A and B are shown apart, each in its own frame.
Chain A
Amino acid sequence: MIVNGQVRGASVPPETTLLQLLRDNFNLTGAKLGCDVGDCGACTVIVDGQAVNSCLMLAGQAEGRQILTIEGLASRERLHPIQTAFENSGALQCGFCGPGVLLSAKALLDENLNPSTQEIRDALSGNLCRCTGYTKMIEAVQDAARLLREESRTQLTHARTEATAP
């Protein structure tokens, strides 16, 4: 499978979940064990573009797929706009649900750069948080959406400028 852009392989017992594979074998401890039965969303990762509870997916089912974990969001140069927005808004408190929430938000923004408040609530509805009441998270996702929209506009402008340059 491809995890955060790198090909990774492992040999594990068949009942191993994707969550166990990520945490125990690949040392990617960002995804958390909150309940192990898909109720809390702390284990959320993105598989082939979709946010999934990695505790409900077997490692074998992830074979050949593209996995994005929280460790793959930032680059050497900068934080992902979602991470920047969450940090500036004070949207995370204890941080345990954070990786799962950030990835659910990314999955939403990858599809929809202009989500309504209700759409954001829906996207986060599978991620339980006991600390924050979700309020600042929703604001942060809106901020991140705005940042991403601005970025894509800038890129478009550059592309047009290059295209029309003599």
Chain B
Amino acid sequence: MKRRGRGIACMWYPIGFTVDANASAATVKVNEDGTATVLTGTVETGQGSLTVLGQIAAEALGIATDDVHVVSADTDTTPMDTGAIASRTTYVTGNAIWLAAEAAKAILFETAAPMLGVKVSQLEARDRKIQVKSFPQRNVSIGEVAHRSQVVLGQPAIGSASWNPPTVAMDPETGQGKPFATYVYATQIAEVDVDDETGEVEVLRIAAAHDCGTAINPMLVEGQVEGGISMGVGMALHEEMLFDANGRHINPNLTNYIMPTSLDMPEIAVDIVQGFDPTGPFGAKGVGEPTAVPTAAAILNAIHDAVGVRVTSLPATAEKVLTAIKAKRAAEVKQIPA
């Protein structure tokens, strides 16, 4: 018989390395037509970081995502980057790119100020134009400014910058300190059906509410949540590397290491929690790892709610769940008076 249960799990997760420096450097070049090229040492591992970094540069320069070309991952031509790890790319590399874009923009503003007859501090970049704040009718296209700057004045609009999260080392005895510059928070709630005759668990739906500061690209955030949940489902129910008594692998293959397929995925409802972190680029934090954190906990709590058994070791295979159910029944039977 199938029994339904629901379980909550909430979590917190840091952005960046623990205390240690993990800087990113970046260069932003505004081309003579007002489009831009970004150089970053980070590596696109599939999460879409290059698109997000392009959006950050575009926002800073007042141009569109499609106007920005991002070049990455070559130690000869791109500046150093500590890498795509610890969910740090949007926050740390993003800040470096934002600062570099601001530096390039400063050169453009110096060129534009006399063109528009105002001071540099009165300028802003919007809609592919450099315009006067509160009087946008006075403007000049960013392409015109970039061209004048580079070709006429000999001042190409290139900016370079680096950024490292500020931390405080942890005391070796007590661990007190500021190990990370910021954290993200999330909750996932799972609904499961547990077959109390086989121990099989089906995850029906998950509601996931994730904080990432400002969501630079909500579509990519959703992609991370859905992907993280699939890892969480695998961790909760199926995946395990097994060794024999001699330390040799028993299942080093995808036949016997059970990974979630499209048939194992629940329906997922993603909500991005409104947030703004002033220390991040345009308020953004990060989201890559946190999405895989609370899923297994939520599913196991739902199993507990469904059949009243607490499985304390992962994965909660059908065998383990069934054994726990039977043990619970046996204990209950013992308590019934004769």
The contact of A93 among B223, B229, B260, by CB within 8 Å, is: B223
Closest B residue to A122 by beta carbon equals B263
Query: Which residues of B are found within 8 Å of A96, using beta-carbon distances?
Result: 46
Closest A residue to B255 by beta carbon equals A39
Could you tell me if A138 and B262 are in contact, using CB atoms closer than 8 angstroms?
yes
Kindly state whether residue A61 has any CB partner on chain B within 8 Å. no
Kindly state whether residue A64 has any CB partner on chain B within 8 Å. no
Interface flags for A124-144 (1: CB within 8 Å of B; 0: not) read: 111111111111111000000
* Bound-complex Cα distance A40 to B208 (A): 28
Query: Which residues of A are found within 8 Å of B261, using beta-carbon distances?
Result: 124-128, 134
**Total count of chain B residues near the partner, CB < 8 A:** 24
Could you tell me if B263 and A125 are in contact, using CB atoms closer than 8 angstroms?
yes
Known: A90-B220, A90-B223. Is A128-B254 also a contact (CB below 8 A)?
yes
Known: A93-B48, A125-B263. Is A136-B255 also a contact (CB below 8 A)?
no
Could you tell me if A130 and B223 are in contact, using CB atoms closer than 8 angstroms?
no
Kindly state whether residue A37 has any CB partner on chain B within 8 Å. yes
Could you tell me if B254 and A133 are in contact, using CB atoms closer than 8 angstroms?
no
Kindly state whether residue B95 has any CB partner on chain A within 8 Å. no
Interface flags for A33-63 (1: CB within 8 Å of B; 0: not) read: 0010101100000000000000000000000
**Most chain A CB atoms below 10 A, which of B45, B47, B263:** B263
Q: Give, as a whole number of angstroms, the nearest-CB distance from B87 to chain A.
A: 15
Kindly state whether residue A146 has any CB partner on chain B within 8 Å. no
Could you tell me if A137 and B45 are in contact, using CB atoms closer than 8 angstroms?
no
Could you tell me if A135 and B255 are in contact, using CB atoms closer than 8 angstroms?
no
Q: Give, as a whole number of angstroms, the nearest-CB distance from B8 to chain A.
A: 20
Kindly state whether residue B55 has any CB partner on chain A within 8 Å. no
Could you tell me if A136 and B226 are in contact, using CB atoms closer than 8 angstroms?
yes
Kindly state whether residue B120 has any CB partner on chain A within 8 Å. no
Could you tell me if A134 and B230 are in contact, using CB atoms closer than 8 angstroms?
yes
The contact of A137 among B253, B255, B262, B263, by CB within 8 Å, is: B262
Residues 249-291 of B contacting A (Cβ, < 8 Å)? 253-255, 259-263, 265, 268
Name 30 interchain pairs, CB-CB below 8 A, sorted by A: A35-B253, A37-B254, A39-B253, A39-B254, A89-B219, A93-B47, A94-B45, A94-B46, A121-B263, A121-B265, A122-B262, A124-B262, A126-B261, A127-B262, A128-B261, A130-B230, A130-B259, A131-B46, A131-B47, A132-B226, A133-B230, A133-B260, A134-B226, A134-B230, A134-B265, A135-B226, A135-B265, A135-B268, A136-B222, A136-B226
Residues in A lying within 8 Å of B, measured CB to CB = 35, 37, 39-40, 89-90, 93-96, 120-122, 124-138
Residues in B lying within 8 Å of A, measured CB to CB = 45-48, 219-220, 222-223, 226-231, 253-255, 259-263, 265, 268
